Amino acid sequence: MWRAIQSFFSNASSVARRGSCASTLSLNGNVGASTAQVIVIGLLVDNHDRRLLANVSSGNGWVVHFVDSLAEALAAAGNLRVPVILCDRDLVGAYWRETVARLASSSFPACVILISRAADDHLWEEVIRSGGYEVLSRPLRSEEVVRVI
């Protein structure tokens, strides 16, 4: 019984996180602090997603660093103290759950957002259980990217 109650409250605190990732973590790691500039890592396969993120970032004060592998994302997250990582579900040679878990448990805590063609509450719950923050559905829409980040 205790495990069920503990699990409920653990999941409830995760559910409360839905919203803006940048307002949750600042560049210096303080929860709730405001940020002047948000650094985002884009571990994205799709060129359209990369272009959209680059366009959206320019008008919102974000600095985006695109990487091509989990190893590059982990290195960049550690070096840049990145608060937001966008991760493609369709990475070649990588399973998304393990990728999200590794990115979320890196030395600097980041909001890991999974991008997927199929996005529903079940996937969102799996992302949260893996240590992620949110799911964005593809095709990406500028207003949704802005809302989440």
Which pLDDT score, from 0 to 100, does residue 142 have? Answer: 96
Output the pTM of the full model. Answer: 0.77
Q: Measure the CA–CA gap between 84 and 114, rounded to whole angstroms.
A: 11
Which pLDDT score, from 0 to 100, does residue 60 have? Answer: 93
Which pLDDT score, from 0 to 100, does residue 20 have? Answer: 60
**Both structure tokens of 85:** 């990582």
- State pLDDT tens for residues 6-45: 343 344 333 334 456 655 443 334 444 444 589 999 999 9
Query: Where would I find the beta strands (DSSP E) of 1-149?
Result: 38-43, 62-67, 84-88, 111-116, 134-137
The series of mean pLDDT values per 10 residues for the chain, 149 residues long, is: 38 44 45 63 95 94 94 89 91 90 86 93 94 94 95
The label of the residue with tokens 């805590």 reads 109
Which pLDDT score, from 0 to 100, does residue 109 have? Answer: 76
Which pLDDT score, from 0 to 100, does residue 119 have? Answer: 86
Backbone angle region of 33, left / alpha / beta, with phi > 0 → left and psi within -120 to 50 → alpha: beta
- State pLDDT tens for residues 5-14: 334 334 433 3
Q: Are 104 and 132 in contact (CB under 8 A)?
A: yes
* CA dihedral of residues 77, 79, 82, 86 (deg, nearest 10): -30
Residue 148 CB coordination number (10 Å): 19
